[in-house]
């Protein structure tokens, strides 16, 4: 029988007590045990960056992290950026700058943005590039993502963190919505 380890985790603001095998990867805990599928696996080796989540506020490859080492840690995934019906300023910025293509890498880029903007709301162009180089976007949306970081910083500077999703939809499409 596989021995399990008890781990206390706070994920997206909610406390979990988990009994997990010692070799369980954080990405599997998040995706398959807890259902946070915004966390993507693209390589399992810390190269593509799609699995990046924030552990105690800092970006971490969840595919290279064992959950058992995280007792007491606080984890943020894209699902935790905003409550139901709301969107986070970073999400709004990523929508407004229109860089989303296949969307597989986008959650990781948004979390990298979060960690960077938690550190400074005035990142230099070089800093933005350096931070965003932790993940790969094969569709090639990088320039749009750089813009999204700056746009998100503007919102956050003004203290605008959460947006009403319906309002965002309305403004974004500048088009009538059916409901």
Binding-site ranges for other proteins (CB under 8 A): 31-32, 35-45, 47-48, 50, 77-79, 87, 91, 94-95, 98-107, 110, 129-130, 132-133, 136-146, 165, 169, 172-173, 175-178
Spatial neighbors of 136 by CB under 8 A, at least 6 apart, are: 42, 47, 48, 49, 50, 105
Phi, psi (degrees; rounded to nearest 5) at 162: -110, 140
Nearer to other proteins, 47 or 118 (CB): 47
Nearer to other proteins, 72 or 140 (CB): 140
Nearer to other proteins, 9 or 128 (CB): 128
Nearer to other proteins, 9 or 49 (CB): 49
31 vs 11, 15, 106, 124, CA distance in Å?
12, 16, 16, 33
**Using only C-alpha atoms, what is the Rg of the chain?**
17
Length of the chain as a residue count: 179
Nearer to other proteins, 65 or 77 (CB): 77
Pick from 56, 69, 42, 64: which is nearest to 11 by CA?
56
CA distance linking residue 10 with residue 126, whole number of Å: 33
What is the maximum span of the chain, computed from C-alpha positions, in angstroms?
Answer: 58
């Amino acid at each position: 029988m596989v021995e399990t380890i008890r781990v206390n985790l706070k994920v997206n603001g909610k406390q979990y007590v988990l009994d997990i095998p010692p070799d369980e990867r954080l990405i599997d805990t998040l995706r398959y045990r807890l259902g946070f599928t915004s966390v993507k696996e693209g390589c399992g080796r810390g190269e593509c960056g799609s699995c990046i989540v924030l552990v105690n506020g800092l970006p971490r490859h969840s595919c290279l992290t064992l959950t058992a080492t995280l007792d007491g840690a606080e984890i943020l995934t894209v699902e935790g950026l905003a409550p139901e019906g709301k969107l986070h300023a970073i999400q709004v910025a990523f929508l407004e700058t229109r860089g989303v293509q296949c969307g597989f890498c986008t959650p990781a880029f948004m979390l990298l943005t979060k960690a960077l903007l938690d550190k400074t709301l005035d990142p230099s162009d070089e800093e933005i590039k350096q931070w965003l180089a932790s993940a790969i976007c094969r569709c090639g949306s990088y320039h749009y993502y750089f813009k999204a970081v700056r746009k998100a910083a503007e919102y956050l500077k003004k203290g605008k963190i959460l947006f009403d999703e319906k309002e965002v939809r309305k403004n974004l499409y500048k088009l009538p919505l059916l409901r």
